[in-house]
Structure 1
Amino acid sequence: MAKGFPVVALTGPRQSGKTTLAKSLFKEKPFVSLENPDEREFALRDPQRFFQRFPSGAILDEVQRCPELLSWLQGWVDERGIMGDVVLTGSAQFDLLAGITQTLAGRVGRVELLPLSAAELLAASKAPSDLNATLFKGGYPALYDRDISPQDWFANYIATYLERDVRQLIAVRDLTQFQTFVKMCAARTGQLLNLASLGADCGITSVTAKQWLSVLQASYIVTLLKPHHRNFGRRLVKAPKLYFCVVGLAAWLLDIRDAATLDTHAARGALFETHVIGELMKQRLNAGQALDLCFWRDNVGHEVVVLIDNAQGLQALEIKSRSTFANDWTDGLKKWQKFAGDESIQPSLVYGGTASYAREGVHVWG
């Protein structure tokens, strides 16, 4: 991106490693955080002199704190004509993307960074010892490079990020009501989204629930998986499915305070599904690919948990949390293949075990 655009925008949730990555890749550029009140005031008061300090470009951290600066940035990079000149980071998509769309169209390459993937943790010899620990901790880098418990870290993350930044975006007056809303979203991870039901459980309207949910999406707390548009001669559900972007955060919001609890917790299957969806998202974003994941479900209950539309065809993926393979796990995939016909390519199944093999025409991954 830095070779083809004068500006690179690195977005993602707070504490996902954006600043660390930007500093690592662009060591020669000075770093300025617009969280700093002095820097922010300088940028607002005299943007021209603010930019003149950076003859070799700069990394501007948390740029959503000063969206007015983007208009000046447009003229500055146009005049200089240097690729990879400025690196922007931000953790709130609403403000940042609005500014990028309006002022930096055609000048910015956007990269999204989610927390650490299982492959990255494995490569760094930091992977949790078992599946329960993986679901409990998630992938936030801070949980792997310092001596802090997930309980303490997530409690502070919720307080300093969700309850401060996210509330500011939507001007929530009742903090308790918003906390309940976030927890109710966690309880629905892996489920079809019903805004009316979600709002009713929190004492808010479906319109307010939609507004609050859109902010959680923009803040990389949750994501919505859309239903696939092809019906293959069958009536389909039209509601999206709700997932948390980081499984450890969902587990904490469900009051899970140790990994052992997940052995018998009712939400273990939903959390494992959330984990796999999150890994697929990270895999595609890290490879610079579009997040073209969806699901398929008809009105009588036939379902494909994940459907990937690629050049070869439609690839179906089933997700099961148990560690022992069950013969009926492939039934849904086989039915899907009959519906999709020639458009379907060899399906896959991810489960909570450790072995990987091919079985009955399905790739099984542990």
Structure 2
Amino acid sequence: MYLRQSSTRLAQLARQFPAVLILGARQVGKTTLARQVFSDFTYLDLEDPVTRALFAEDPRFQLDAREGKGLILDEAQRLPIVFDALRGAIDADRQRMGRFVILGSAQPALVRQVAESLAGRVGILELSPLTVQEAGTGDAPVADYRTLWLCGGFPDALGAAARGGHFRDWWEAYLRTYAERDLPAMGVAADPLLIRKLLTMLAHAQGGLANLSQFAASLGQSQPTMARYVDILEQSFLLRRLPPYFRNVGKRLVKAPKLYLRDTGLLHHLLNIDSLDVLDSHPVRGASWETFVVEDLLRREALIHPHGVAHFWRTAGGAEVDLLLERGGALHAVEIKTARATSPYLARGLRAIMEDTGAASATIIDQGPGIDPLAPGVTRRGFAESVTWLPAQ
């Protein structure tokens, strides 16, 4: 069991709202987190047929009868009528905060139901896979961040080797469940083989600019259909769409978003990468490392600066930076390299990007040791020294 940084943010939301919604991909650890933070709450799984039947008959009675000190409702989107009952129960005692914890992995339906029934009554937390800092805690801490890079941050995938298994076996079972059960539950009648092919194409294009027309042509689908599938992958937390940053600097800017499979364990499984030796010699190694660092930063950034926004920057002339973190009016640039990067040319390029974007700082993160100042406002950091680091406000 890992110590999740999200627990602090979850407790903050529970002090502000009568209900808290925890969103995240299936098997990311939502139930474990909720039961850790709210250990004295009653837990109910609405996927259980008996429980679901009782709530379907009279949801408000069941809420009132079972609430006790509080109630955790898992997979609540399986029973939409429970949201109207929750609204009534909350409004009967609006001054009591943190009474209900709602868990769900099918974001589109769940967010729609919350928006319709619980607007203003619920705080929302997105639970991501493990960060490097979190993976180093608990009963079986991960000492080498490269293990997390290879296997990904889903707890059961990361712990597969300790159980005598392999992270790729876990991901194969996960993808089957996702394509054959989760997508139909979200109203997506897609051929599982087609979804697998799309995910594999996205893996080969990891971190590249979105080109849905090319994907559609390769898979024999219309572009609107392909756009819908990509939306669903994003909404179910498997895909990140990183938007470009726009600023009127008189330069032609790239306007298409970049697409990342969010977990490197999934990426490596789709590309048949089963060991660090294979990863080190694979053509996707650079894009995989970029994904790993971007996701680790953004998972922590979302908790410390929950209202921030992430972008990338690229001009038609080739100037680019992998990540721009926007917090209010402040910008911080992050460039990611696989090898130690101390080039004066790179530092000069980042200085120019800082001037173009107005960024307050620029940081290079690589796999080398130590921390080096390279130019005014530009610093190189080794990833091992950056597992708790975020740019200063």
Relative distance call for 1:6 and 1:268 in structure 2 (3 A) is same
Deviation at 1:152, TM superposition (A): 1.2
Greater mean alpha carbon deviation, residues 136-145 or residues 109-118: 136-145
**Is 2:54 aligned against 1:39?**
no
Which runs of at least 4 in structure 1 moved beyond 6 Å after TM superposition? Answer: none
**Is 2:22 aligned against 1:5?**
no
Greater mean alpha carbon deviation, residues 70-79 or residues 285-294: 285-294
Greater mean alpha carbon deviation, residues 114-123 or residues 326-335: 326-335
The answer to whether the Cα contact below 8 Å between 2:77 and 2:104 also exists between their aligned partners in 1 is: yes
Which residue of 365, 377, 380 corresponds with 1:350?
Answer: 365
- 1:66 corresponds in structure 2 to 79
- 2:27 corresponds in structure 1 to 15
- Residue identity opposite 1:346 in structure 2: S
Greater mean alpha carbon deviation, residues 219-228 or residues 353-362: 353-362
Deviation at 1:297, TM superposition (A): 1.0
- 1:98 corresponds in structure 2 to 112
Which residue of 101, 106, 120 corresponds with 2:134?
Answer: 120
Relative distance call for 1:329 and 1:123 in structure 2 (3 A) is farther
- Residue identity opposite 2:292 in structure 1: H
**Is 2:335 aligned against 1:322?**
no
The answer to whether the Cα contact below 8 Å between 2:363 and 2:380 also exists between their aligned partners in 1 is: yes
How many aligned residue pairs are there? 363
**Is 2:379 aligned against 1:363?**
yes
Deviation at 1:192, TM superposition (A): 0.6
Q: How far apart, in 2, do the equivalents of 1:345 and 1:324 lie? A: 20
Q: How far apart, in 1, do the equivalents of 2:148 and 2:125 lie? A: 25
**Is 2:319 aligned against 1:302?**
yes
TM-score w.r.t. length of structure 1: 0.93
The answer to whether the Cα contact below 8 Å between 2:179 and 2:192 also exists between their aligned partners in 1 is: no
Relative distance call for 1:83 and 1:155 in structure 2 (3 A) is same
- 2:41 corresponds in structure 1 to 29
Relative distance call for 1:278 and 1:5 in structure 2 (3 A) is same
- Residue identity opposite 1:83 in structure 2: M
SS in 1 for 2:356: helix
SS in 1 for 2:354: helix
Deviation at 1:208, TM superposition (A): 0.8
The answer to whether the Cα contact below 8 Å between 1:61 and 1:88 also exists between their aligned partners in 2 is: yes
Q: Percent identity?
A: 33
Q: How far apart, in 1, do the equivalents of 2:278 and 2:100 lie? A: 46
Greater mean alpha carbon deviation, residues 158-167 or residues 93-102: 158-167
Greater mean alpha carbon deviation, residues 97-106 or residues 238-247: 238-247
- 1:166 corresponds in structure 2 to 183
- Residue identity opposite 1:345 in structure 2: A
Relative distance call for 1:129 and 1:41 in structure 2 (3 A) is same
**Is 2:245 aligned against 1:228?**
yes
TM-score w.r.t. length of structure 2: 0.87
Relative distance call for 1:355 and 1:150 in structure 2 (3 A) is same
SS in 2 for 1:266: coil
Which residue of 297, 300, 303 corresponds with 1:283?
Answer: 300
- 1:51 corresponds in structure 2 to 63
* 1:204-231 per-position Cα deviation (integer Å, ceiling 9, x unaligned): 1111111001111111000111111213
Deviation at 1:91, TM superposition (A): 0.7
Relative distance call for 1:312 and 1:365 in structure 2 (3 A) is farther
SS in 2 for 1:192: coil
The answer to whether the Cα contact below 8 Å between 2:59 and 2:81 also exists between their aligned partners in 1 is: no
* 1:15-47 per-position Cα deviation (integer Å, ceiling 9, x unaligned): 111100100111111100011122112211221
Q: How far apart, in 2, do the equivalents of 1:331 and 1:161 lie? A: 45
The answer to whether the Cα contact below 8 Å between 1:304 and 1:332 also exists between their aligned partners in 2 is: no
Q: How far apart, in 2, do the equivalents of 1:270 and 1:306 lie? A: 13
The answer to whether the Cα contact below 8 Å between 1:281 and 1:291 also exists between their aligned partners in 2 is: no
- Residue identity opposite 1:103 in structure 2: S
SS in 1 for 2:311: strand
The answer to whether the Cα contact below 8 Å between 2:42 and 2:67 also exists between their aligned partners in 1 is: no
The answer to whether the Cα contact below 8 Å between 2:308 and 2:325 also exists between their aligned partners in 1 is: no
The gaps in structure 1 that reach 5 residues or longer are none
Deviation at 1:350, TM superposition (A): 0.8
The answer to whether the Cα contact below 8 Å between 1:190 and 1:270 also exists between their aligned partners in 2 is: yes
- Residue identity opposite 1:347 in structure 2: A
- Residue identity opposite 2:373 in structure 1: A
Relative distance call for 1:217 and 1:311 in structure 2 (3 A) is closer
Relative distance call for 1:49 and 1:93 in structure 2 (3 A) is same
The gaps in structure 2 that reach 5 residues or longer are 1-12, 383-393
SS in 2 for 1:227: coil
Q: How far apart, in 2, do the equivalents of 1:175 and 1:312 lie? A: 43
1:139-154 equivalent positions in 2, closer than 5 A:
139-145=153-159, 146-147=162-163, 148-154=165-171
The answer to whether the Cα contact below 8 Å between 1:247 and 1:278 also exists between their aligned partners in 2 is: no
Q: How far apart, in 1, do the equivalents of 2:191 and 2:67 lie? A: 46
